[in-house]
Amino acid sequence: MAKEPARVLVTGAAGQIGYALVPMIARGIMLGVDQPVILHLLDIPPAAEALNGVKMELVDAAFPLLKGVVATTDVVEACTGVNIAVMVGGFPRKEGMERKDVMTKNVSIYKSQASALEKHAAPNCKVLVVANPANTNALILKEFAPSIPEKNITCLTRLDHNRALGQVSERLNVQVSDVKNVIIWGNHSSSQYPDVNHATVKTPSGEKCVRELVADDAWLNGEFISTVQQRGAAIIKARKLSSALSAASSACDHIRDWVLGTPEGTWVSMGVYSDGSYNVPSGLIFSFPVTCQNGEWKIVQGLSIDEFSRKKLDATADELSEEKALAYSCLS
Amino acid sequence: MAKQPARILVTGAAGQIGYALVPMIARGIMLGADQPVILHLLDIPPAAEALNGVKMELVDAAFPLLKGVVATTDVVEACTGVNIAVMVGGFPRKEGMERKDVMTKNVSIYRSQASALEKHAAPNCKVLVVANPANTNALILKEFAPSIPEKNITCLTRLDHNRALGQVSERLNVQVSDVKNVIIWGNHSSSQYPDVNHATVKTPSGEKGVRELVADDAWLNGEFISTVQQRGAAIIKARKLSSALSAASSACDHIRDWVLGTPEGTWVSMGVYSDGSYDVPPGLIFSFPVTCQHGEWKIVQGLSIDEFSRKKLNATAEELGEEKALAYSCLS
Q: What is the pLDDT of residues A294-323, one digit of tens each?
A: 999 999 999 999 999 999 999 999 999 999
Q: Is B302 annotated as contributing to ligand binding? A: no
Question: Is there a catalytic annotation at residue A198?
Answer: no
- C-alpha–C-alpha distance, residues A211 and A162, integer Å: 17
B224-239 b/e (C-beta count within 10 Å ≥ 16 → b): bbebbbebbebbeebb
With residue A331 as reference, give the H or E element that holds it. helix A307-331
Q: Is A128 helix (H, G, I), strand (E, B) or coil?
A: strand
- The reply, when asked if residue B18 is annotated as ligand binding, is yes
Q: Is A29 on the interface with B (CB under 8 A)?
A: yes
Among B49, B61, B176, the residue with its CB nearest the CB of A249 is B61
pLDDT, residue B26, reads 98
- CA gap A165, A184 in Å, rounded: 11
- Over range A62-86, report the average pLDDT: 98
- Residue count of chain B: 332
**What burial class does residue B101 get, using C-beta atoms within 10 Å of its C-beta: 0-12 exposed, 13-18 middle, 19+ buried?**
middle
For B165, which of A62, A66, A240 is closest by C-beta distance? A62
B52 has a chain A CB within 8 A of its CB: yes
Axis crossing angle, helix A48-60 with helix B158-172, rounded to the nearest 10: 100
Å from A21 to nearest chain B CA?
A: 10
Q: pTM score, two decimals?
A: 0.97
Residue A165 touches chain B, beta carbons under 8 Å: yes
- Over the stretch B116-129, which tens digit does the pLDDT of each residue have? 999 999 999 999 99
Please tell me which of the candidates B56, B165, B243 has its beta carbon nearest to residue A57. Answer: B243
User: Alpha-carbon distance A110 to A140, whole Å?
Assistant: 6
Strand partners of residue B208? B201
Tell whether A66 lies on the interface with B, counting CB pairs under 8 A: yes
Q: Kindly list the distances between the CA atom of residue B35 and the CA atoms of A251, B30, B254, in Å, as whole numbers in the listed order.
A: 23, 9, 16
Question: In this prediction, what percent of chain B has a pLDDT beyond 70?
Answer: 100
Class of domain A6-155: alpha beta
> In this structure, are residues A207 and A178 in contact, taking their beta carbons and an 8 Å threshold?
no
CB contact under 8 A, A176 and B60: no
The Cα B69–Cα B8 span in angstroms is 10
pLDDT at B158 exceeding the cut of 80: yes
Q: Which one of the listed residues A40, A161, A188, A254 is annotated catalytic?
A: A188
User: How does residue B42 score in pLDDT terms, banded at 50, 70 and 90?
Assistant: very high
In A182-221, the residues whose Cβ lies within 8 Å of chain B are none
Please indicate whether, in this complex, the C-beta atoms of A234 and B56 are within 8 angstroms of each other. Answer: yes
| pLDDT single digits (tens) B230-276 | 999 999 999 999 899 999 999 999 999 999 999 999 999 999 999 99
- pLDDT score at B197: 98
Indicate yes or no: CB of B59 within 8 angstroms of CB of A166. yes
Which residues fall within 8 angstroms of residue B49, CB to CB, at 6 or more apart? A238
Tell me: pLDDT of B18 over 90: yes
Q: Angle at CA B160, nearest 5°, toward B157 and B163?
A: 150
Give percent of chain B above pLDDT 90: 94
Measured between beta carbons, the chain A residues lying within 8 angstroms of B49 are 238
| pLDDT number for residue A118 | 97
Is-contact A44 A73, C-beta < 8 A? yes
Q: With a cut of 80, say whether residue B99 has pLDDT above it.
A: no
Does A157 lie at the interface with B, CB-CB under 8 angstroms? no
- Class in CATH terms, B157-327: alpha beta
Domain residue limits, chain B: 6-155, 157-327
| Mean pLDDT on A91-104 | 81
A1 pLDDT higher than 80: no
Helix (H, G, I), strand (E, B) or coil at A305: coil
Mean pLDDT of A166-193: 97
Instruction: Find, in chain B, the residue whose alpha carbon is nearest to that of A237.
Output: B53
Instruction: Give residue A95's pLDDT.
Output: 76
Please report the pLDDT score of residue B96 as a whole number: 79
Residues B3, B23, A241: CA angle, nearest 5 degrees: 150
Q: Which of B49, B66, B166 is closest, CB to CB, to A60?
A: B166
Catalytically annotated residue among B188, B198, B254, B294:
B188
Is A18 marked within a binding site? yes
Measured between beta carbons, the chain B residues lying within 8 angstroms of A23 are 20, 24, 245, 248-249
Contacts of residue A2 in chain B, CB cutoff 8 Å? none
User: So what's the pLDDT on residue B137?
Assistant: 96
The alpha carbon of residue B3 is apart from the nearest alpha carbon of chain A, in Å, by 15
State the pLDDT at residue B29. Answer: 98
On chain B, the residues whose CB falls within 8 A of the CB of A54 are 239, 245
Dihedral sign (CA A287, A291, A297, A301): negative
Among A163, A248, A167, A190, smallest CA distance to B60 is for A163
pLDDT-based confidence at residue B132 (cuts at 50, 70, 90) = very high
The b/e string for B114-144 (b: 16+ C-beta within 10 A; e otherwise) is bbbbbebbeeebbbbbbbbbbbbbbbbbbbb
CB A280 within 8 A of CB A196: no
> Over 80: is that where the pLDDT of B95 sits?
no
Q: What is the pLDDT of residue A75?
A: 97
Strand partners, B37: B6, B66
CB distance A162 to B60 below 8 Å: yes
Burial class, B211, CB count within 10 angstroms (exposed 0-12 / middle 13-18 / buried 19+): middle
DSSP code per residue over B244-278: -HHHHHHHHHHHHHHHH-PPTT--EEEEEE--SGG
Closest by CA position to A218, among listed A316, A314, A308: A308
Say whether A43 counts as a known binding-site residue. Answer: yes
Report the Cα–Cα distance between both ends of chain B, in Å, rounded. 52
Q: Is A186 helix (H, G, I), strand (E, B) or coil?
A: strand
Residue B332 confidence (pLDDT) above 80: no
B243 to chain A, any CB pair closer than 8 A? The answer is yes
Nearest CA in chain B to A47: B239
At residue B230, the pLDDT reads 94
Residue B97 in this model has a pLDDT that exceeds 90: no
pLDDT level of residue B183 (50, 70, 90 thresholds):
very high
Query: Tell me: the pLDDT tens digits for A136-163?
Result: 999 999 999 999 999 999 999 999 999 9
Does B229 touch chain A if contact means CB atoms closer than 8 Å? no
- Chain B, residues 72-111, CB within 8 A of chain A, namely none
Give me the helix-helix angle, B48-60 and A231-239, nearest 10°. Answer: 150
Question: Å from B240 to nearest chain A CA?
Answer: 8
Inter-chain CB proximity B20 and A23 less than 8 Å: yes
Q: According to the model, what pLDDT value does residue A2 have?
A: 83
Q: From CA A84, how far away is CA A130, in angstroms rounded?
A: 13
Dihedral angle over CA of A28, A30, A35, A39, nearest 10: -90
What local confidence, expressed as pLDDT, does residue B98 receive? 78
- State the Cα–Cα distance between residues B116 and B304, nearest whole angstrom: 41
Nearest neighbour of B53 by CB, restricted to A62, A177, A235: A235
Give residue A49's identity as a one-letter amino acid code.
Answer: E
Please give the average per-residue pLDDT across A278-293, as a whole number. 98
Arithmetic mean of pLDDT, A163-177: 98
Rounded Cα gap, residues A144 and A15, in angstroms: 25
Q: pLDDT tier at B90 (50, 70, 90 boundaries)?
A: very high
Give the tens place of pLDDT for each residue, A222-276: 999 999 999 999 999 999 998 999 999 999 999 999 999 999 999 999 999 999 9
Q: What are phi and psi of B200, to 5 degrees?
A: -135, 160
Three-state secondary-structure class, residue B111: helix
The reply to whether A2 touches chain B by the CB within 8 Å rule is no
Query: Would the pLDDT of A29 be above 80?
Result: yes
**A14 among the known binding-site residues?**
yes
Interface probe for A, chosen from B17, B57, B167, B229 (most Cβ of A below 10 Å), is B57
User: By C-alpha distance, which of A33, A6, A39 is closest to A21?
Assistant: A39
In a 3-state reduction of DSSP, which class is residue B286? strand
Total residue count of chain A as it appears in this document: 332
pLDDT at A94: 78
Q: Are B285 and B272 in contact (CB under 8 A)?
A: yes
Give the closest of B24, B27, B60 to A162, CB-based. Answer: B60
Mean pLDDT (chain A, rounded): 96
Residue B207: what pLDDT? 96
- A-B contacts at Cβ under 8 angstroms: 134
DSSP state of B152: G
In this structure, what DSSP letter does residue A279 have? G
- Give the percent of chain A with pLDDT over 90: 94
Name every chain A residue with its beta carbon within 8 A of the beta carbon of B240: 50
- A168 CB-near residues (< 8 Å, 6+ apart): A179, A182, A196, A199, A201, A210, A214, A224
